[in-house]
Structure 1
Amino acid sequence: MPTRRILVTSALPYANGQIHIGHLVEYMQTDIWARNLRMHGHQVYYVGADDTHGTPIMLRAEKEEITPQALIKRVWAEHKRDFDDFGISFDHYDSTDSADNQQLCEQVYLALAKKGLIDTREIEQAYDPVRAMFLPDRFIKGACPKCQAPDQYGDACEICGSTYQPTELVNPYSVVSGATPIKKISTHYFFRLSDPRCENFLRQWVAQLAQPEARNKMSEWLGVEDKDSQTTQLADWDISRDAPYFGFEIPNAPGKYFYVWLDAPLGYYASFKQLCAKEGLDFADWVKPDSTAEQYHFIGKDILYFHTLFWPAMLRFSGYRTPTNVFAHGFLTVDGQKMSKSRGTFITAHSYIQAGLDPEWLRYYFAAKLNGSLEDIDLNLDDFISRVNSDLIGKYVNIASRTAGFLAKHFNSCVLESAMHHPLLAQLRAALPEIATHYENRDSARALRRIMEEANAINLFIDTMKPWNQAKDPTQTSALHETCSVSLEAFRLLTLALKPVLPQLAAKVETFLSVAPLAWSHQATPLNAQQPLKPYQHLMTRVEAKQIDALLAANR
């Protein structure tokens, strides 16, 4: 198999809050995908960064009486801690507030301007006369113009679901100061997404998206192609914000700043550029238009618009390659409902760790739910307990715990090499390429179902052979040796198959089995009698209901 060069990212978490389990769905999905491809020997780089600019960062820093830089430095450390705790294998993790990112933003902007794709126009916005600042939609509240519900945000009503312009709110007020906003004119800068060059390119690019749901949604936004019409459904994209604003100032436009959604995706490249400098990679070769490298972005379905319209058009017309594909996932619910602080289900990543829960329990459960579609997934806490205990303890770990002791006691922890050709092992090895393909297709749910089918077959073999009885019968010594050897080689192969999902547990098993770090190519390299197994030690504990109760209590 030729070695592929792959750059992969997850959406950048905003530096204004903690990582919660809803975020972790995406990072775990991306990490499993990246680990699987690394196990094939491909050159895979997974990069990320904190998304650090915008009005919310500026206002929170003011509230805490610190600089925005101090705030984002603190939050970066918290985010990185959480990602490390959950085994998210970033090759580099940075911040969008970097010199490399500012340079990229300016370069892209000037390239778009040179192509006639930047426009300026006067727009009317809500303005806080007390704070002397323009107000983003989410910083204006008032009564909904449709249902009159009070204290609704300036873009949508949480009661009736209506969307509207901030100027339509009844009795509006600034969330920042409480003042009544006034209307004020300001010059803004726009990326001309409505330009026929952009529309024609996007129609072709969107058609190659891997997910049918994403293709269909983007096609709706693009509208039906009409070669005789001079209009498009695509609106130009406002890429500027007025001072005061925490971000990068637009070249030759004093007091105007790049909108966070322009500099955030370029943060992918800025983070990768820093990795390239550290590793001696040719950044330009990875991001040039005719690059043979692959580029993938994992995101939530709520930001498809930015990643499948703005981002590829921005890259295409500023001299960069476009993404190979964008993969979106659905939202997370807990026990069938939105995450809720009052119910204790708005669970932060750090609280999960502090409660003493194993992060790989959650990696396994989310992987068992993700199927590569845009469907929402549900964390049913009773099912979480049941599935982790049944699959990981009852079916998988149990194979080693039922047989390793007999191998140690009767055979000096050495396997019977002739047992490595057993038909059950041949069956399991034959399943591995299919499992690896499911991982690459982001259908980890199908991969894990297939793994558990094989685990069931191995447990049935152990139940049939009954090594506990074989050990009592001197005439069954050879049979006992074969039973234990087949079972533990099967355990090695199952560990290989589970490694993208359970890397920390796999590392423990590699030590126990006295084998090198497992890769897909190792499926045909079985255990051997010259490498005795280490003494078996407990690999994973069961989930207890009281642990979940304590977790919910900690998040209320």
Structure 2
Amino acid sequence: MEETAKPEKVLPLPRPGERNILVTSALPYVNNVPHLGNIIGSALSADVFARFWRGRGGNVLFVGGTDEFGTTTSLRAREEGVTPQELCDKYYKIHKEVYEWFNISFDIFGRTNNSVHIPLAHDIFRELWGKGVINSWDTEQLWCEKCEGFVFDRLVEGTCPECGYEKARGDQCADCDWVLDGTQLLDPRCKIHGEKPVTRQSRHLFLDLDNHGPCVERMVEEKGGDWLVNAMNMNGNATMGITREGLNWGTPVPEWLAEFEGKSFYPWWDALLGYISITASGMGDWTAWWRPSKHLVNRNDDDDDDDTRSSCKSDNTATKPDVDVQLYQFLGPDNIFFHGVLFPATLLPLDPPYTAPHHIASTRYLTYRGGKFSKSLGVGVFGDNAQETGLSADVFRFYLLESRPENLQNTEFTWDRLIKVNNELLVGKIGYLIRRVLVEVNGVVPHRCRHTSGPTLSSVEQMIAGFKKGAHRLLRQYVNELEEAKLRGGLMTTLELARGGIALLDLASNKVMSTNRSERQAVLELEINLVYLLARMLEPYIPDTVKSLYKVLRVGRPVGRFEEDWFVRDQGPIEPGHEVGKWEEVEGLFERIMPEKAKMWELQFGGRKKRDGEVLMSGEAKRQKD
């Protein structure tokens, strides 16, 4: 078994008195190649956020990996004629290579199938059991006569009782994202034999959500968020089953609970603990991030007479962290309930508590030809497909982030639009502005005469003053958007600033660029500083491109707060007399894509439209499925 690679660099530890940012990317199933929907929904979005905070000098730990336990893994292993372990080893490597190509800057990239995971899951379970927030009772489960056993959730299909979707799974509806139990399905059927299962009694373990739901709500209210309310509305259950039958590749229930022999933890619950175990397998002092509490304070006993086993209180004391760790989790919409309710409901009863989510950043879906990307059906564009196009990772990053479905609406992936976004925005706006400025500056930022003619400003100076005022507002807006994980919003703000820079150049060119040397120099000094600032703003989005921009600007990679006030000062970060490179040094980073490529890539990659319930796939997509 491949363990999480021990990092060569020294990983950061939380620092007292500072805002310490713990970033996680949702753990995708290991059983296939990640598609672009997976990438923008979690890994790429989390990467932009982590890079933004690092660029401002923030203390960040960015954790990701693969979810390796569960029925999906064992079934895929059976299809490929290998063991589950062999399958995990194969696809873990593929996932890692895809994320490296996309330049995802994980501090730790691991896997739930590590030597730490099962002991850690058992320890957390034992603590929850001791707190009295886990109950057990008999419940009806689906039994397939032909399978001669209980049918696991994902092997049951039926009609969703919430939305009527006819191919809902026994754990969650893929159409409306409702979290359910297989027995709730209408007209359930075993996906292996197609038979309608019967129900049988079986004893299972349940985590109490109802009693510590108010505590979780209070926590989120204190943090100013509203994701928990949305997550609870998606489920409405007072308890959540955390054990399952028939799972032969997962985390078993501890042996000291003998009556549950043969049962395993529910993979969705178990996978949440993977964030912690992956961190623990990648760094020694993992508790500094996940369990930072080190001293006790008095607990508020106002509700001691309330006869509930609430996670909001322990018997007498609670542990207060001496460092502030804020957990930001990036995930798709089908994961909101598990991260927004189940995860904090697991962590908050523990004393000292684990770090619970501070902010959940979820997108809607990136769709393909009107439907969801699907690894199991081979529908969509996959990470290795992106590499085979010959485009750079930054082109895909820019397009996916410009199309990020963050405003409660799905967005559609099309090759035509990828080309349009590249040609009109990345090349046509960002590249165009950089080219014009570098050509005009021609190697050295010009000196200029300061305005000394009295209170009356020339028309160009008025334009510069007006631009600086608007740019200052946009920069503050950008910072606010990135801090709130509104990543597409931040990119749109950056593009708006670039458009403003182009407009200023156009106006100045019409007025003075060829006639008034002093005012021309003032415009160029402003514009070269704008290029530098745009590079800083774009660094989280297109890091390789920006690395080259820093080189052509002859500046080192800046770290620390943005120059948020330079627009209201007379002098920018790049001063007159500073030497810069030529446009030819970065011209290759901003290349137009021929529109006819869209049809070629559409035929070459990804699933095609469904016909009579069957997915027609290109050869490449079919090979991925097979």
Alpha-carbon distance between aligned partners in 2 of 1:75 and 1:522, rounded to the nearest angstrom: 39
When residues 313 and 480 of structure 1 are mapped into structure 2, their CA distance, relative to the original with a 3 A threshold, is same
User: What is the Cα deviation at residue 260 of structure 1?
Assistant: 0.7
* Higher-helix-fraction structure: 1
User: Is 2:108 aligned against 1:92?
Assistant: yes
Alpha-carbon distance between aligned partners in 1 of 2:44 and 2:201, rounded to the nearest angstrom: 44
- The correspondence of residues 39-50 of structure 1 with structure 2, limited to 5 A, is 39-50=55-66
Instruction: Decide which of 492, 496, 501 is 1:453's aligned counterpart.
Output: 496
When residues 208 and 329 of structure 1 are mapped into structure 2, their CA distance, relative to the original with a 3 A threshold, is farther
Structure 2 stretches lacking a partner, 5+ long: 1-16, 295-318, 452-460, 567-571, 607-617, 619-626
User: Is 2:282 aligned against 1:282?
Assistant: no
- The correspondence of residues 324-363 of structure 1 with structure 2, limited to 5 A, is 324-334=358-368, 337-339=371-373, 346-363=380-397
User: Is 2:293 aligned against 1:293?
Assistant: no
- The correspondence of residues 127-526 of structure 1 with structure 2, limited to 5 A, is 127-129=143-145, 131-141=147-157, 165-166=182-183, 174-176=190-192, 181=197, 183-194=199-210, 196=211, 198-208=212-222, 210=224, 212=226, 214-218=227-231, 220=233, 234-252=237-255, 253=258, 254-277=261-284, 282-283=288-289, 286=292, 290-291=320-321, 292-319=324-351, 320-321=353-354, 322-334=356-368, 337-339=371-373, 346-370=380-404, 373-379=407-413, 381-408=415-442, 413-418=443-448, 423=464, 426-427=468-469, 428=471, 431-466=474-509, 483-519=523-559, 521=561, 523=563, 526=573
User: Is 2:30 aligned against 1:15?
Assistant: yes
Q: Verify the 8 A CA contact 1:297 1:325 in the aligned structure 2.
A: yes
When residues 533 and 175 of structure 1 are mapped into structure 2, their CA distance, relative to the original with a 3 A threshold, is same
Alpha-carbon distance between aligned partners in 2 of 1:505 and 1:165, rounded to the nearest angstrom: 48
Deviations 1:461-505 (A, max 9, x none): 3334449996xx7x8766665554443222111111221212111
Q: Which residue of 2 aligns with 1:225?
A: none
Q: Which amino acid aligns with 2:393?
A: P
When residues 305 and 156 of structure 1 are mapped into structure 2, their CA distance, relative to the original with a 3 A threshold, is closer
Structure 1 stretches lacking a partner, 5+ long: 223-232
Deviations 1:424-464 (A, max 9, x none): 68444564233111111222333333322322232223334
The alignment partner of 2:117 has SS state of helix
Q: How many residues align?
A: 533
Alpha-carbon distance between aligned partners in 2 of 1:116 and 1:141, rounded to the nearest angstrom: 34
The alignment partner of 1:545 has SS state of coil
Q: Verify the 8 A CA contact 2:138 2:202 in the aligned structure 1.
A: yes
Q: TM-score, normalised by structure 1?
A: 0.83
When residues 73 and 164 of structure 1 are mapped into structure 2, their CA distance, relative to the original with a 3 A threshold, is closer
Task: Say which is worse superposed, 389-398 or 364-373, in terms of deviation.
Answer: 364-373
Deviations 1:360-380 (A, max 9, x none): 233323433448543333345
Alpha-carbon distance between aligned partners in 2 of 1:482 and 1:532, rounded to the nearest angstrom: 16
The alignment partner of 2:141 has SS state of strand
When residues 373 and 269 of structure 1 are mapped into structure 2, their CA distance, relative to the original with a 3 A threshold, is farther
Alpha-carbon distance between aligned partners in 1 of 2:528 and 2:420, rounded to the nearest angstrom: 25
Q: Which amino acid aligns with 1:332?
A: L
Alpha-carbon distance between aligned partners in 1 of 2:487 and 2:576, rounded to the nearest angstrom: 34
When residues 381 and 520 of structure 1 are mapped into structure 2, their CA distance, relative to the original with a 3 A threshold, is farther
Q: Verify the 8 A CA contact 2:142 2:151 in the aligned structure 1.
A: yes
Q: Verify the 8 A CA contact 2:49 2:540 in the aligned structure 1.
A: yes
Alpha-carbon distance between aligned partners in 2 of 1:328 and 1:151, rounded to the nearest angstrom: 24
Alpha-carbon distance between aligned partners in 1 of 2:523 and 2:414, rounded to the nearest angstrom: 37
When residues 503 and 420 of structure 1 are mapped into structure 2, their CA distance, relative to the original with a 3 A threshold, is farther
When residues 159 and 366 of structure 1 are mapped into structure 2, their CA distance, relative to the original with a 3 A threshold, is closer
Q: TM-score, normalised by structure 2?
A: 0.75
Q: Verify the 8 A CA contact 1:420 1:486 in the aligned structure 2.
A: no
User: What is the Cα deviation at residue 530 of structure 1?
Assistant: 6.4
Between the aligned residues of both structures, percent identity stands at 25
Q: Which residue of 2 aligns with 1:30?
A: 46
User: What is the Cα deviation at residue 178 of structure 1?
Assistant: 5.8
Q: Which amino acid aligns with 1:201?
A: C
Q: Verify the 8 A CA contact 1:360 1:502 in the aligned structure 2.
A: yes
Alpha-carbon distance between aligned partners in 1 of 2:497 and 2:39, rounded to the nearest angstrom: 28
Deviations 1:252-305 (A, max 9, x none): 243121111222111111222234328x88346547753321112122222222
Alpha-carbon distance between aligned partners in 1 of 2:270 and 2:62, rounded to the nearest angstrom: 19
User: What is the Cα deviation at residue 95 of structure 1?
Assistant: 0.5
When residues 534 and 3 of structure 1 are mapped into structure 2, their CA distance, relative to the original with a 3 A threshold, is farther
The alignment partner of 2:540 has SS state of coil
Q: Which residue of 2 aligns with 1:72?
A: 88
Q: Which amino acid aligns with 2:346?
A: M
Q: Which amino acid aligns with 1:25?
A: I
When residues 165 and 131 of structure 1 are mapped into structure 2, their CA distance, relative to the original with a 3 A threshold, is closer
Instruction: Decide which of 6, 19, 28 is 1:4's aligned counterpart.
Output: 19
Task: Say which is worse superposed, 451-460 or 312-321, in terms of deviation.
Answer: 451-460
Task: Say which is worse superposed, 161-170 or 76-85, in terms of deviation.
Answer: 161-170
Q: Verify the 8 A CA contact 1:250 1:256 in the aligned structure 2.
A: yes
The alignment partner of 1:326 has SS state of strand
Deviations 1:390-438 (A, max 9, x none): 2221221112222424544xxxx22125489984684445642331111
